[in-house]
Chain A
Amino acid sequence: QSALTQPRSVSGSPGQSVTISCTGTSSDVGAYNYVSWYQQHPGKAPKLMIHAVSKRPSGVPDRFSGSKSGNTASLTISGLQAEDEADYYCCSYAGSYTWVFGGGTKLTVL
């Protein structure tokens, strides 16, 4: 099972919006609405930001949103803030009680 494909890096200025893509296959991202996104700051554990493609856990700012089209899921961060600078990982259920992560995207806030 191959890792989901994410851009290695994205960047944006404070206040702008950025979108991170996550491309899988018809066996994972395309097959299930079970895509989640995690934010990871250096030296810290990942933190859940989005689940079930577009649901935000309580406490996550509404600047974070998720969507999916076909085999590609996306995380959009609007109104970029300095503290959003981190690595972001997508994850999808891949059937047969297995999960697969994306390779990660480094977000730089310019």
Chain B
Amino acid sequence: QVQLVQSGAEVKKPGASVKVSCKASGYTFTDYYMHWVRQAPGQGLEWMGWINPNSGGTSFAQTFQGRVTMTRDTSISTAYMELSRLTSDDRAVYYCARIKSYYFDYWGQGTLVTVSS
């Protein structure tokens, strides 16, 4: 069965970077793009961008341009999302989500990122 398992919670200082991983299993990793979505406490979902695990190509929401990097390691079926220059506004749960056609059919369990001095 398809599973997306994310790395554990992180606590970072303002100005630092955070890197979240998303390990896929149960399907061919390179067959589906992987997206990242975040959710601030008590807030809605915010689309961040995607990575093509086959080519490594990426595309990001304008909000995150210049501050987000998405990479993958096909040898271990894992996607990564790195967000730099963190501020308190980046405190959120970050989800990876597999996309099929134009919808997100499987989601990771989420990774809480806390930004605190």
Q: Does B47 touch A at the CB level, under 8 Å? A: yes
Q: Which of B11-19, B67-75, B95-103 contacts A (4 or more CB under 8 A)?
A: B95-103
- Which residues of chain A come closer than 8 Å to B47, judged between CB atoms? 91, 98-101
Output the nearest chain A residue to B96 by Cβ-Cβ distance. A45
A15-44 to B contact mask, C-beta < 8 Å, 1/0? 000000000000000001010101000000
Output the nearest chain B residue to A4 by Cβ-Cβ distance. B44
- Which residues of chain B come closer than 8 Å to A36, judged between CB atoms? 102-104
- Which residues of chain B come closer than 8 Å to A34, judged between CB atoms? 101-103
- Which residues of chain B come closer than 8 Å to A98, judged between CB atoms? 47, 59, 61
Q: Does B108 touch A at the CB level, under 8 Å? A: yes
CB-CB contacts below 8 Å: A69-96 with B:
89, 91, 93
Interface range on chain A: under 10, 10 to 19, 20 to 34, or 35 or more?
20 to 34
Task: Say yes or no: B105 contacts A97, CB within 8 Å.
Answer: no
Task: Say yes or no: A52 contacts B103, CB within 8 Å.
Answer: yes
**Residues of B within 8 Å of A, CB-based: how many?**
22
B80-117 to A contact mask, C-beta < 8 Å, 1/0? 00000000000000010100011111011110000000
A102 to B46, CA, bound (A): 9
Task: Say yes or no: B46 contacts A101, CB within 8 Å.
Answer: yes
A24 to B43, CA, bound (A): 19
Output the nearest chain A residue to B58 by Cβ-Cβ distance. A97
A57 to B107, CA, bound (A): 15
Tell me how far the C-beta of B24 lies from the nearest C-beta in chain A, rounded to whole angstroms.
Answer: 14
Q: Does B29 touch A at the CB level, under 8 Å? A: no
A sample of 29 inter-chain contacts (CB < 8 A) reads A1-B61, A3-B44, A3-B46, A34-B101, A36-B103, A36-B104, A38-B45, A45-B107, A45-B110, A46-B45, A46-B107, A47-B107, A48-B103, A48-B104, A51-B101, A51-B102, A51-B103, A52-B101, A91-B45, A97-B59, A98-B47, A98-B61, A99-B102, A100-B47, A101-B37, A101-B46, A101-B47, A102-B44, A104-B43
| B residues with CB within 8 A of A | 35, 37, 43-47, 50, 59, 61-62, 95, 97, 101-105, 107-110
